[in-house]
């Protein structure tokens, strides 16, 4: 039998101890993001895409009448050029600032993790560059690198302005 705190905050404590994450493959690793940020999942080939220019920005797409930028995370997280196949998915995200699509190698599933299933990433707290990493989630013998998708998608390239000023 488990003991739970009583009072008005009880429901909040229970909700916070379990959270759902969408797991996906990218560059041979498995990642997870807060499922509450997912608007929908679409196969890459199912999106109407246009203006596909840039290294990581995969252009602009239309999904259900919404025009959104597409970020190809396969380029950002892998050293090899991306190869699209029928398993290539787009995760359409509801971020705090916009709606956007994120291209990944494939979506795995939805997992529920408790606080005890999430561990710090060794050495990740040492640098500010990786503040988008939440920890390592462990479920059914799998390890997921958990990311704060809002922080990850708001990263700007460091040093771009410094190069132009020199």
Q: Which domain holds residue 98?
A: 19-154
Tell me if 160 is assigned to some domain. Answer: no
Sequence-ordered list of residues with C-beta below 8 angstroms from that of 27, at least 6 positions apart, any chain: 74, 77, 78, 79, 105
Residue 165 lies in a domain: no
Q: Does any domain span residue 3?
A: no
In a domain, 12, yes or no: no
Spatial contact of 103 and 74, defined as CB atoms under 8 Å apart? yes
Tokens 């969408």 found at = 22
91 C-beta neighbours (distance < 10 Å), count: 22
Sign of CA dihedral 57, 55, 156, 77: positive
Angle at 75 between CA 108 and CA 154, to 5 degrees: 85
Longest dimension (CA), the chain: 65
CATH of the domain at 107: 2.40.50.180
Query: What is the average pLDDT across 131-153?
Result: 91
Give per-residue pLDDT as tens, 53-80: 555 556 677 777 778 888 888 887 766 6
pLDDT tens-place string over residues 28-37: 899 999 999 9
In a domain, 79, yes or no: yes
Per-residue confidence (pLDDT) for residue 49, from 0 to 100: 62
Q: Could you tell me whether strands 99-104 and 66-72 are parallel, antiparallel, or unpaired per DSSP bridges?
A: parallel
76: nearest Cα among 148, 133, 155, 150: 155
- Per-residue pLDDT, 72: 86
Q: What pLDDT score was predicted for residue 63?
A: 75
59 vs 26: which has the higher pLDDT: 26
CB 33 within 8 A of CB 87: no
- Is the pLDDT at 111 greater than 90? The verdict is yes
- As a three-state string, the secondary structure of 115-131 is HHHEECCCCHHHCHHHC
Q: How many domains would you assign to the chain?
A: 1
97 belongs to a structural domain: yes
For the segment 109-135, the average pLDDT, to the nearest whole number, is: 82
pLDDT at residue 10 tops 70: no
Output 91 or 47, whichever has higher pLDDT: 91
Q: Is residue 31 situated within a structural domain?
A: yes
Gap between the Cα atoms of 145 and 6, Å rounded: 33
In a domain, 6, yes or no: no
């Amino acid at each position: 039998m488990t003991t739970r705190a009583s009072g008005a905050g009880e429901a909040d404590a229970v909700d916070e101890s379990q959270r759902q994450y969408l797991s996906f493959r990218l560059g041979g690793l498995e990642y997870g993001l807060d499922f509450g940020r997912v608007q929908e999942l679409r196969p890459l080939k199912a999106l109407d895409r246009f203006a596909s220019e840039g290294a990581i920005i995969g252009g602009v797409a239309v999904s259900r009448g919404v025009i959104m930028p597409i970020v190809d995370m396969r380029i950002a997280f892998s050293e090899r050029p991306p190869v699209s196949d029928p398993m290539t998915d787009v995760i359409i995200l509801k971020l705090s600032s916009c709606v956007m699509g994120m291209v990944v190698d494939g979506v795995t599933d939805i997992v529920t993790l408790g606080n005890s299933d999430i561990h710090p990433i060794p050495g990740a707290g040492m640098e500010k560059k990786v503040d988008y990493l939440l920890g390592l989630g462990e479920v059914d013998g799998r390890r997921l690198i958990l990311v704060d998708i809002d922080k990850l998608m708001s990263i700007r390239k460091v040093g771009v302005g410094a190069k132009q000023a020199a």
